Structure 1
Amino acid sequence: MSDRAGHDAGVEVTADKLREPLITHRKEACRECWGCVRACPVKAIRVVDGRSEVIQEKCIACGQCVNECGARGHIVRDDTPQVLDLLRGRRPVIALLATEFIAAMHPMTVPQVERALTILGFHSVETTLLGEEMVAAEYERVHAREDSLLVMRSTCPVAVNFVRRYYPALTPALAPVMPPYVAQARLIRSLYPDDVAIVYVSPCYARKDEVHDPQFGGVIDAAIDFAELKSMIAESEHQHPVRGKAIEPGPRRPGIFKEISLTDGFPRKTLAASDMTSQQVYVVRGIEALDRLLAAMTSGEIAPAIVDMLNCEGCIDGPAVNPGLSLFSKRNVEAAARELPGTTRVSTRALLGVLPAVELVRSFIAEPVHIPRPEEQQIDEVLVSGGFATRADALDCGSCGYPTCVEHAIAILRGDSTWSMCFPLQRQRLASAEESLEATRTLDALTGLWNRRAFAERLQLEVARHARYKAPLSLVLFDIDDFGSVNDSLGEEAGDRILAALGNLLAVQLRSTDMAARYVADQFAVLLPGVGKTAAFAVTEKIRSAIRKADIGRAEGYTDDNALSVSAGVATAAETLSDPMALLESADAALREAMHAGKDQVRLAPG
């Protein structure tokens, strides 16, 4: 029978709300960092058209993608409108806080939290502490059975989702015990009037969906996480600021001393009875570690009797519990709150003996995720398309978010990923693209002159024109004298500025039909179409003299006694010099002769 008879309309609202996925992705916010893919322990994130999206049927609601994304590309469904509707209604609304609320709401104190909730319109505030104690007592009974059957902790909805979907054969081993917040909600309904509404405030996102399990009979009207509660409080303070002196907090209610449970309703007795070498009780935190443990259990490597499994390091480490604080800081905050003076401690074992009993039994149904594996030949073909000729060539670096290149290739075949996720491959492709781009460039980035590639193409064209029409053609090679000492004394940056200045000087000394290029390092080449040997010598002498007079090294602080100079070699096309390479070699030989003759000179090649 439903715990909420007479509230069918509320159940319909809940059903409508559940049609919206818990975690969704905002495509416009995605920055393509793929941190969400690497963080997701079950690879429930696919990359489509350069954007990630949640694969809902694979998602276990751990929230790793939400906290990983700094751009807020992954967001959790907002359930505060449902809570606000309840607060505007006629029924008294009770705030049921997970016991981690002290750390989650820090730096607010307990009285400040209670006052803020009162201002929001809540009738009263309860915590799940007694529910945790009741559930822990039930676990003690389950663990005390002598049938030696495997029992797996079932208080963590993320871990439960993982087992039901990825290890469905182990679903019967999940402890058939209600979560603590449901036990507490049932206790509240047995103690409060029948028409109260209960809003559960959770340390994790997964429980926002778990509360709507039909087995719970609608005992929870709505669930939000602590981040949503903080948002509601901040909005309330903005709309209705408290004026004047703040009200002093009243006396604290008696504190209930947890005697039976540790975090989230697991009995401390079970862990106290085992040691670190025990093969009967396994404590595992995190889905990846749980995956390894369950795989070992499935293969028969180990056979524990009890598995204490959580997605986080306790619920205080939940994704909605003050994610800006470290786990150690949050534990310190809780410890400090427990040690406040003037708090009366009440034993839970004595208290549970006088409280009404509540139903704690539940069951689980496997919901296996079917992931067909492609043919091995298909996998190999995809690997080849990613640049891996064989599986032995695979890097398995994990930068794509998948443990191996083979797993990534399978994801690509399923349409969940692309090779754009492979960072080593993308680096190779980028380097190749840069090389290809460099090959198409025609200008030298430093001097603004033509580059060697463009010069070679023009030289080929002009030599062919000379061969056909017998038009004069001369080629000049310039080399800056002692440029190595300039770099040594002034530095490479100053040397680059000198090269750029020389490039500008060359450009203004030539005709529009001439071509000046930075040939290599500190060597420049000039093509003079229609210019014979004598005229080419004169042009080159003019340029050499202009460079000497400009003294471009002085502006950079070059203090050598002599101004910066160049040596030059001139070659003119003739019947014996009708090949581009031969013309270049002839000009180079003349240049070397000028350099050996004392520099700052021009030499003509024979012919």
Structure 2
Amino acid sequence: MEIIETPEGRCKQCYACVRLCPIKAIKVGQGQVKVNSEKCIFCGRCIVACSRGAKVVVSEREAVEDLLTKGKAVAILAPEYVAYFHPTDPFRVQAALLKMGFHAIEDTIVGEELLADDYLRLFRESKEPIIRSTCPVIVEWVEKYFPDFLSYLAPIVSPPIAQGRLCKEIYEGAATVYIGPCLAVKAEARAEGLEGALDAVLIFPELEEMFKRAKIDPKSLKGLPAGKKTSRLAGLRIFPQRVSLFGGFPREEIARRSLLNRDIRVVRDVGEMRPLVEAFSREEVKLKIIDALSCNGCLASPLMGNPPRPAISKLSLFARRRVVERHYQKLAKGARSAEDRAKVLSKLPSIEMGRKFLPKKVDFPLPHGRELKEILASGGIKSAEDILDCGACGYQTCEATAIAIYRRDAEWEMCFPHQREKMVHLMKALEKTSISDGVTSLFNYHGLIQSLGKEIKRCQRYQGTLSVVIFDVDYFKLINDTYGHVKGDLLLKLIADVLRQNLREADYAARQGGDEFAVILPETTKTEAFAVAEKLRQRVGEASFKLDDEERVKATISLGIAGYSTGIGYPEELMELADRAMYRAKKSGRNCVYIAPDKSV
């Protein structure tokens, strides 16, 4: 079962999820950007990164609704719910859960106390380095990316699993539903060896959606019914927690920390784990304990504020902590003394606190040197000067992007500089296509008028001279009917070659359409243009145009000339004069040149 999905049509390929994903578990291709579950560590950052809602948690809402209808279900609330639903009174949230159909409501504090005891015991007895394993994101990361370090993971379950097992013993036959801020608990609940502790896992936004579907507004409720016992563990609550902090880590271990103690390293971002583990493997650092969490505690979980909620978004991490602590301090009034702690815990049923970790090593094939160069070249990177390493695509280097492309996790369309360069080339090509004739590659009518307009303005500015020659192929229809349109187009191409060979670089040659051509002659008088036109007429008439290996054809052209004068303001006016002159040439017997008189002012 997938945990994160990408609904079709929502992704706009901005690649924000790739940039934010710490281990690049995003697969890009065929117009979609999807999460690769085999590589994902379920930190939830891609969900927060996407402003279009294209990364969605696969909801277990229906599964929970089914559990509520079939029998007893116990809700296990992570303490962070107090901050998530703030300023709604926590007891009203619990009342909403009861109204929805939950049989009982527990938190994870007793389980955290049990965990802390096991951690203290492990710290005293172990001679090997220990990596804290209460965070399922960190566990996924080690299992998939550094399986050689599995032996260093503390072989102890997380608070949700411990509390789930405890509730299974206390509430016989009941289903357990964990509700918290961490997406990775969904994956943890299905892990081999942990099945059965939790029947379903909801993140807080899923619970909110369930409230809406059931038309339950926690704020409108009056709180828990008088005398209603919602928890069998409430009387055993030991807060202020004597041994553990939220998350199950021992207070004693935190208290003895010192900035001078290099045996303990605190990691609060999965991105910090790789350099630390690699340094440890190279024996560059000595460690006893790695206190690792993927974020700055569950109150800082990416999904605590997703979707955005005005109330919690206004709370800093410190304010969230204060809100949660104040609530549990109120509950602690009249709590058991430290001396009674052992007696209290001894009343609890015995549960399995240990766990094993299994390697899920992700395969990372690497391209050979030649393959890598070819992939880089396909992205326009052919030398060291082409390397940008801008990170805009989400990968730190161009080489890392090329390797991801080799693994089919990425494509060069992600590279914004590369795409911009392609767009510039495409725009230039489109611009050229918009003014070019598809048959002859000369200017088309649009390009002709555009160029002629520029030359007319130049004439007006500098009092220069300008002439236009228009001609068409005599009896071209007969040639087309005799040899076919394909060979007719070939003849037009060959005549275009004659123009290229006999005109200056400053001149413009164009095919207006059909068999009609035009030539713009800057800085050329009508008399000089006549010489050019006569030269073109002779060259075309002398040529024997080869249409295939066996067939050759002769052709002649009729030409009209017009020169710019002060009475002309638009390109079309000059073209019309030249066009009339061409028709005079055709009426005069074809295969000749005619000069149009100047337009009268």
Q: Scaled by the length of structure 2, what TM-score is found? A: 0.72
3-state SS of 1:320 partner: helix
Given the alignment of the two structures, is residue 213 of structure 1 paired with residue 191 of structure 2, yes or no?
A: yes
Write the distance in 1 (CA, Å) between the matches of 2:217 and 2:418: 56
Amino acid at match of 1:460: V
Given the alignment of the two structures, is residue 460 of structure 1 paired with residue 460 of structure 2, yes or no?
A: no
Q: Deviations over 1:114-151 (max 9, x none)?
A: 11101101112111111112212211221122x43110
| Structure 1 residues 103 and 512: CA distance shift in structure 2, 3 A | farther
**RMSD value over aligned CA atoms?**
3.3
Q: 2:153 aligns with which of 152, 174, 194?
A: 174
Given the alignment of the two structures, is residue 138 of structure 1 paired with residue 113 of structure 2, yes or no?
A: no
Contact 1:316–1:327 (Cα < 8 Å) also in 2: no
Given the alignment of the two structures, is residue 306 of structure 1 paired with residue 289 of structure 2, yes or no?
A: yes
| Structure 1 residues 470 and 511: CA distance shift in structure 2, 3 A | closer
Residue 24 of structure 1 is matched in structure 2 by: 5
Contact 1:258–1:348 (Cα < 8 Å) also in 2: no
Write the distance in 2 (CA, Å) between the matches of 1:344 and 1:310: 27
Write the distance in 1 (CA, Å) between the matches of 2:152 and 2:314: 30
Residue 95 of structure 1 is matched in structure 2 by: 75
Write the distance in 2 (CA, Å) between the matches of 1:94 and 1:477: 95
Amino acid at match of 1:382: I
Residue 556 of structure 1 is matched in structure 2 by: none
Write the distance in 2 (CA, Å) between the matches of 1:289 and 1:478: 76
Q: 1:70 aligns with which of 27, 51, 54?
A: 51
Residue 330 of structure 1: CA displacement?
4.9
Q: Scaled by the length of structure 1, what TM-score is found? A: 0.71
Contact 2:176–2:198 (Cα < 8 Å) also in 1: yes
Residue 573 of structure 1 is matched in structure 2 by: none
| Structure 1 residues 348 and 195: CA distance shift in structure 2, 3 A | farther
Amino acid at match of 1:457: A
Contact 2:95–2:223 (Cα < 8 Å) also in 1: no
Given the alignment of the two structures, is residue 476 of structure 1 paired with residue 564 of structure 2, yes or no?
A: yes
Alignment of 1:7-406 (within 5 A): 20-89=1-70, 91-145=71-125, 147-192=126-171, 194-237=172-215, 246-247=221-222, 256-323=239-306, 324=308, 325-326=312-313, 329-339=316-326, 343-345=331-333, 346-347=335-336, 349=338, 350-351=340-341, 353-355=343-345, 356=348, 357-391=350-384, 393-406=386-399
Write the distance in 2 (CA, Å) between the matches of 1:52 and 1:115: 40
Residue 306 of structure 1: CA displacement?
0.4
Q: Which runs of 5+ in 1 are unaligned?
A: 1-19, 480-502, 516-528, 543-607
| Structure 1 residues 348 and 215: CA distance shift in structure 2, 3 A | farther
Q: Deviations over 1:173-205 (max 9, x none)?
A: 00011111222223323333x122211112111
Amino acid at match of 1:335: R
Amino acid at match of 2:519: Q
Residue 492 of structure 2 is matched in structure 1 by: none
Residue 391 of structure 1: CA displacement?
4.5
Contact 1:104–1:320 (Cα < 8 Å) also in 2: no
Write the distance in 1 (CA, Å) between the matches of 2:144 and 2:452: 60
Higher deviation after alignment, 322-331 or 62-71: 322-331
Write the distance in 1 (CA, Å) between the matches of 2:38 and 2:341: 43
| Structure 1 residues 168 and 514: CA distance shift in structure 2, 3 A | farther
Amino acid at match of 2:344: V
Higher deviation after alignment, 172-181 or 261-270: 261-270
Contact 1:134–1:352 (Cα < 8 Å) also in 2: no
Write the distance in 1 (CA, Å) between the matches of 2:364 and 2:223: 59
Contact 1:133–1:348 (Cα < 8 Å) also in 2: no
Higher deviation after alignment, 386-395 or 402-411: 386-395
Residue 520 of structure 1 is matched in structure 2 by: none
3-state SS of 2:570 partner: helix
Amino acid at match of 2:561: L
Higher deviation after alignment, 30-39 or 342-351: 342-351
Q: Deviations over 1:60-116 (max 9, x none)?
A: 122222221122222211111111111101x32111011111122234220210111
Residue 336 of structure 1: CA displacement?
3.2
Amino acid at match of 2:116: A
Contact 2:80–2:298 (Cα < 8 Å) also in 1: yes
Write the distance in 2 (CA, Å) between the matches of 1:160 and 1:259: 26
Q: Which runs of 5+ in 2 are unaligned?
A: 228-233, 437-442, 456-507, 511-517, 522-528, 538-556, 580-592
| Structure 1 residues 342 and 276: CA distance shift in structure 2, 3 A | closer
3-state SS of 1:60 partner: coil
Amino acid at match of 1:506: Y
Write the distance in 1 (CA, Å) between the matches of 2:408 and 2:337: 53
Write the distance in 2 (CA, Å) between the matches of 1:457 and 1:478: 24
Residue 451 of structure 1 is matched in structure 2 by: 450
Q: Deviations over 1:486-511 (max 9, x none)?
A: xxxxxxxxxxxxxxxxx9x7368667
Contact 1:166–1:368 (Cα < 8 Å) also in 2: yes
Contact 2:262–2:286 (Cα < 8 Å) also in 1: yes
| Structure 1 residues 453 and 472: CA distance shift in structure 2, 3 A | closer
Residue 480 of structure 2 is matched in structure 1 by: none
Write the distance in 2 (CA, Å) between the matches of 1:41 and 1:242: 36
3-state SS of 1:259 partner: coil
Q: Deviations over 1:415-468 (max 9, x none)?
A: 221111111111111122222223333399xx9992228982245378665542
Percent identity (aligned): 31
Higher deviation after alignment, 111-120 or 434-443: 434-443
Residue 313 of structure 1: CA displacement?
1.1
Residue 569 of structure 1 is matched in structure 2 by: none
Given the alignment of the two structures, is residue 408 of structure 1 paired with residue 467 of structure 2, yes or no?
A: no
Write the distance in 2 (CA, Å) between the matches of 1:328 and 1:155: 25
3-state SS of 2:564 partner: strand
Contact 2:4–2:56 (Cα < 8 Å) also in 1: yes
Q: Deviations over 1:211-258 (max 9, x none)?
A: 123423512221111111111011111xx6799x85366789787322
| Structure 1 residues 242 and 133: CA distance shift in structure 2, 3 A | closer
Write the distance in 1 (CA, Å) between the matches of 2:288 and 2:217: 55
Write the distance in 1 (CA, Å) between the matches of 2:343 and 2:35: 46
Contact 1:257–1:347 (Cα < 8 Å) also in 2: no
Amino acid at match of 2:359: A
Contact 1:442–1:453 (Cα < 8 Å) also in 2: no
Residue 540 of structure 2 is matched in structure 1 by: none
Given the alignment of the two structures, is residue 506 of structure 1 paired with residue 506 of structure 2, yes or no?
A: no
Write the distance in 2 (CA, Å) between the matches of 1:388 and 1:448: 34
Contact 2:379–2:418 (Cα < 8 Å) also in 1: yes
